[in-house]
Structure 1
Amino acid sequence: MNLRLLLILGALCAFGPLAIDFYLPSFPTLARAFATDVEHVQLSLAAYFVGLAIGQLIYGPLADRFGRRRPLLAGVLLFALASLACALATSLETLVVARFVQALGGCAGMVVTRAVVRDLCDPIASARVFSQLVLVMGVAPILAPLAGGLLLSSLGWQSIFVCLALFATLCWLAVALWLPETLSRKVTPAPLSGALGEYRRLLGDRPFIGHALTGGLSIAGMFAYIAGSPFVFIELYGVPAAHYGWLFGSNAAGFILAAQLNAWLVARHGPGYWLRRLVWFYLGCGLALLVIALSQPPVLWPLLVPLFGCIASLGVLLPNATACAMAGQGRHAGSASALLGSLQFAIAASAAALVGALHDGSAWPMATVICGCGVLATLASLYTLWAERRLERPLVDGPV
C-alpha cells in the first residue's frame, strides 16, 4: 500500500478520536455558554457515541452495495456540514442533535477504512497496515485535547468545530482525488435487501464473532482506563492535573510502539499467532493490576507498571483481531467492518460506564473492569481457536 493511500486512510481513522477529544477542554465553556452544567454538556458526547454505534451498521451494507467511495464521500460531507452546525449552535439541544449527525457522518471513515484494507491486502498485510494506522489512533488522543485547548483560549469554542469542518473538507477532497474504488468489479454488489440477513450470517460466523469479541473486550480495557484514570491519578494519588497528560501520553506511547513492533512481528508469524499469545500477557497484566489495587499501595507507581503492560499490549491485540475478523469476508467486507466496529464500540462503552457505576473512591473499579476484560478476552480467544479447528478453517498464522 503506497504512502499517499495510507495517509488518507489514517486521516479517516482520526475522525473518531478528533471529534471526541478535540472538544473535551471546552466542556466548562460550553456549560457557561448554554447556561447549564458540565453534566448536561456531556450529553453531546453521549449523542456522538450513539451515532457511532448506529451509523456503522448503516454504512456497512451501503459500502457493499455501492462501493467504498460513494458512501465514504457522502459520510465525510455529512460530517463537515454537521461540524458547521455544531459551531453555529445556539442551544445545547441543537448541539446534541448536531453531534449525533456528525457521528453518523464520521463513522463512514471507520467502516470504509477497514473494508478498503481488506479489499487490498491479505490477512497478514492487513495486520501490518492496521498496525500503522494505530499510530494515528494513538497520537490523535494525545494531541487533540492540547490543540483544542489552544483554540479554545484564542478563538473560542466555535473554532474547534470549524477546524473539524475544514479537516473533513480536506479529507473529502483527498478521497475524491486519490482514493480509488477498491471493491472489485468482478464482485457482484450485495443488495441492500439482504443487509439484515448478512448481519445474521456474520453473527452466526463463530470465528468472526470470536475475533470481534477478543478485540472488543481488549479495547474495552482501554475505555475503562480512560474512564477511571483521571480519578485514580489526580484525586486518589494527587498527581497534578497538568501532569496527567504526561502519564496518559506514556501509556499511549507504549500502545503506539507495540503496534509498530506488531507490523514487524506479523511478517514472521501471522496475526492469529500473536493474538492468541499476547492475550495471555494482557490477562497477566490485568490480574497483577487488580492484586496491586486491592492492596491499596500508598504510591502510584506500582499500579503504573501493569497498567502500562495492559495498554501497550493493545497495540498488538487490536490490529491482529481486526485483521483476523476481516479475513475471508470478501464482498461482504463492508458489513463485516460495520458489525465489527459496532460490537467493539458497544462493549467498550459499556466497560467505561461500568467503571463509573462501581465507583467507590478507590482504584478497585478501574482495575476490576480491566482485569475482567482480560479474562473475557482470553476466553473469547480460546473459543475462536476451538471454532476454527471445529470448522477446519485455516489459522492466520503463517509467515509472509
Structure 2
Amino acid sequence: MALITALGPITIDMYLPTFPAIAQDLQVPPHQIELTVSSYLMGLSLAQLFIGPITDRYGRKKPLLFGLSLYLLATISCALSTSFEMLLVARTLQAFGAASCIVIPRAVIRDHYNTQDAAHALSLLMLIMGLAPVLAPVAGSFLGPIVGWRGLFAIMLVVALLLIALCVLKLQESLPPENAVKLSAKTISSNYFGLLCHRNFMAFALSGGLGMAGLFAFIASSPTIFITQFGIAPENFGFFFGLNAAGLILGSQISVRMLRKHASIKVLKTALLLGLISSVTGLLLTLTHLINLPLFMICMFSLSACLGLINPNSTALALKEQGARLGVASALMGCMQFLFGTLASSLVSHWQTGTALPLFTCLCVCIGISFICGRHIGRA
C-alpha cells in the first residue's frame, strides 16, 4: 500500500527538472508547462470523489487495478504527446488513474486494523510518502539528461506495471461482501452529506487536510525562499528541500513509537500544539527581521516533523467511525487535502514579497485552524 501511495508524488515530481526540455520540444513558453502540474492536482482532487463510492461498492482490488490500468494508458499518452494540449489531457487522465492509489490504500489499512493499529500502519506508510517527493526530483535530474522527458514517463510506465503485478499476485480483497454499499446517486449523496455533517470526521479530516496544505505551501514557495532570499545555489536546493522531507519521515517514525504507549488522539493533540508553536515562531522571526537560514530550517524541520505525526493520526481518527463507507470517507479526505493544498500553494505563489512572510502567514492560518479542529472539536 505504501508503494502504491508513493506513485502520486513520483508522478508529480519526477518530470519537474525537464520542464525546459518539454517546453522546447512542444514549442510553448516554459511557464505554460506548469499547467500540467495544476491539471494533475485538480484531477487528483476531483477523481477521488468518484473512486470512493466505487470502491465501497465493488471492493478494493478491482477498482485499484482499473485505476492503475488507466494510469498506464495515460502515461503512454504522456510519453507520446506531440502537443501541449495532448500532454495536458493525458496528465489529467493520469491523475484520474493515480487517484485510486490515494483513496484505496487508506481504506485497505482501515479494513484490517483498529484505530490505534491503523495510525501505526499509516505512520509507516508516511515513511515512503516522505521519501518519494525527495527522491523523485533527484532521479529526474539524473535520468532526464540521459533518457529525456519522454523516457521519464516510460519509467513511470514500468513502475505502474510492477504495481499492477504486485496487486494481482499479493493483494487480497479486504471489503467483506456484506459491507458493499449500493451504487446509486441517492446513496452516494447521502454518504457524502452524512460525512460533511459528521462532527468527528470533519474535525479530524480538516485537521489533517489543512496541516498538509501547509506542506504544499512550503513546496510552492521553497525555491523563492531558498534561492532568492537566502542565496542558496540552485544545485544545492535539493539538499535543503530534502532536509525538510527528512523531518516528515522522522515525525512519522516518532509517531510509530509514541503509539506503542499513547492513544492516537493524544499523539495528534501534542503534534498540533508543537506545530502551531513552530509556525508562530517562524512568523514572529520573519516580522522582526531576525529570520536567517538556520532559524528558518529549524522552524520548518520542526513543523515537518509535526506533520509526520499529524497526518497518520488524524487520518486514522477520521476513519474510525465510518464502517461501510470507508472508501467514500477516504475519498473526501483526499479531495479536501489536495484542494486545500492547491489553494495554499496558489496563495503563496501569487503573494510574492521575496521573504518567508507569505509562507509563515499561510502556515499559521492552516495550522491554527488545524489546531482548533483537532484539539477542541474532534473527540476520540
Matches within 5 A, 1:198-347: 198-297=191-290, 299-347=292-340
Q: 1:298 to 1:18 in 2, by over 3 A?
A: closer
Report the AA paired with residue 108 of structure 1.
S
1:351 to 337, 344, 347: 344
Q: Deviations over 1:308-347 (max 9, x none)?
A: 1111111100000000001121111000000010011111
* Contact 1:289-1:371 at 8 Å conserved across structures: no
1:335 aligned counterpart, secondary structure: helix
Structure 2: distance between partners of 1:273 and 1:235? 39
Structure 1: distance between partners of 2:292 and 2:143? 35
Are 2:73 and 1:42 equivalent residues in the alignment?
no
Structure 2: distance between partners of 1:192 and 1:166? 36
* Contact 1:190-1:332 at 8 Å conserved across structures: no
The equivalent residue for 1:99 is 91
1:124 to 104, 116, 122: 116
Shift of 1:251: 1.3
Structure 1: distance between partners of 2:372 and 2:175? 34
The equivalent residue for 1:152 is 144
Are 2:61 and 1:80 equivalent residues in the alignment?
no
Structure 2: distance between partners of 1:188 and 1:56? 18
Structure 2: distance between partners of 1:203 and 1:126? 22
TM, length-normalised to structure 2: 0.97
Shift of 1:298: 6.9
Shift of 1:228: 1.2
How many residues in Structure 1 have an aligned counterpart in Structure 2?
379
Structure 2: distance between partners of 1:33 and 1:203? 45
Shift of 1:230: 1.0
TM, length-normalised to structure 1: 0.93
Shift of 1:130: 0.4
1:175 to 152, 167, 172: 167
Structure 1: distance between partners of 2:182 and 2:115? 22
Are 2:375 and 1:372 equivalent residues in the alignment?
no
Contiguous gaps of at least 5 residues in structure 1: 1-8, 389-394, 396-400
* Contact 1:220-1:351 at 8 Å conserved across structures: yes
Q: 1:299 to 1:285 in 2, by over 3 A?
A: closer
Structure 1: distance between partners of 2:231 and 2:250? 28
Identity %: 36
Which range moves more in the overlay, 40-49 or 302-311?
302-311
* Contact 1:190-1:331 at 8 Å conserved across structures: no
* Contact 1:111-1:334 at 8 Å conserved across structures: yes
Are 2:25 and 1:28 equivalent residues in the alignment?
no
The equivalent residue for 2:55 is 63
* Contact 2:271-2:310 at 8 Å conserved across structures: yes
Structure 2: distance between partners of 1:262 and 1:285? 18
Q: RMSD of the alignment, in Å?
A: 1.2
Shift of 1:293: 1.0
Report the AA paired with residue 229 of structure 1.
S
Shift of 1:383: 4.1
Structure 2: distance between partners of 1:264 and 1:151? 36
Q: Which contiguous aligned blocks of 4+ residues in structure 1 show a shift greater than 4 angstroms?
A: none
Shift of 1:185: 2.5
Shift of 1:357: 2.1
